[in-house]
Chain A
């Protein structure tokens, strides 16, 4: 159900230069743990988003490595110092090799 996977990002609209802002992210994803069994008793294979990488104007800001202990539709918030206007780029990596990408522009005042 890869077409159901949709990232969402929320940042403050117009942060002041130098302000530390909170970046909230959420990606719709089942985060299948690999522990569950289907009705026939067969183990449902693990399928989670295992990594989220964030860069700002190409510079690394934040990275998260996730385990099956992270809830479905993983929500993740972190902070960033907004020194200049630019673009935050997000990449989520799936166990099956797929990558989901999103971008968020930030304009400091």
Chain B
């Protein structure tokens, strides 16, 4: 990821001003080359929950701008009565801008009462979080949310 335009280069300088070492981190990631892409994240979701999920029923709550990518609070809430007949069986969370796309997978039961989970996620850069919920009737639902990260949370 060489600086391709003056705009990006300038932005990088600004990031450097905002937090010492951030530029170093970015170049470190650039040198590593490997990283999750939206395609990789999608492919991983297919292995976790096969099928075509529909948009909706999930709310992802996360800050719009995270100053520190080391621990970004992310809440995933799925609309469901959580009864024996109709409940969420699994929630999968991936992110498309980290070295690896996987974040976490949760298995829920009717005992959960409410399908809402909070975690803290490392984010290397500004990226999208995608959640997929699997219901007891087999249907899949998905939602996406972008989080802007000022200082990446990885390495250092």
How many residues on B have C-beta within 8 angstroms of the other chain's C-beta atoms? 34
Q: Mark B91-103, 1 if CB is under 8 A from A, else 0.
A: 0000100111011
Q: Report B-chain residues with C-beta under 8 Å of the C-beta of A70.
A: 103-104, 119-122
Let me know if A74 and B154 touch, CB within 8 A.
no
Let me know if B122 and A71 touch, CB within 8 A.
yes
Among A65, A69, A72, A76, the most chain B Cβ lie within 10 Å of the Cβ of A69
Q: Report A-chain residues with C-beta under 8 Å of the C-beta of B112.
A: 61-62, 78-81
Q: Report B-chain residues with C-beta under 8 Å of the C-beta of A62.
A: 106-109, 112
Let me know if B113 and A63 touch, CB within 8 A.
no
Residue in contact with B155 in the complex, picked from A35, A60, A66, CB distance below 8 Å:
A35
B117 lies within 8 A of chain A by Cβ: yes
Q: Which residue of A lies closest to B155 (CB)?
A: A36
Let me know if B120 and A78 touch, CB within 8 A.
no
- How many residue pairs link A and B with beta carbons under 8 A? The number is 99
**Chain A contact residues: helix, strand, loop or mixed:** strand
B37 lies within 8 A of chain A by Cβ: no
- Cα A67 to Cα B95 in complex, Å, equals 11
B20 lies within 8 A of chain A by Cβ: no
- Cα A78 to Cα B106 in complex, Å, equals 10
Let me know if B120 and A33 touch, CB within 8 A.
no
Q: Which residue of B lies closest to A60 (CB)?
A: B109
CB interface residues, A 49-95, toward B, < 8 Å: 56, 59-72, 74-81, 83
Let me know if A67 and B120 touch, CB within 8 A.
no
Q: Interface on A for B, CB 8 Å cutoff?
A: 20-21, 33, 35-36, 56, 59-72, 74-81, 83
Given contacts A33-B154, A79-B113, A81-B113, 11 further A-B contacts (CB under 8 A): A20-B114, A61-B111, A67-B104, A68-B122, A69-B104, A74-B120, A76-B119, A78-B117, A79-B116, A81-B82, A81-B111
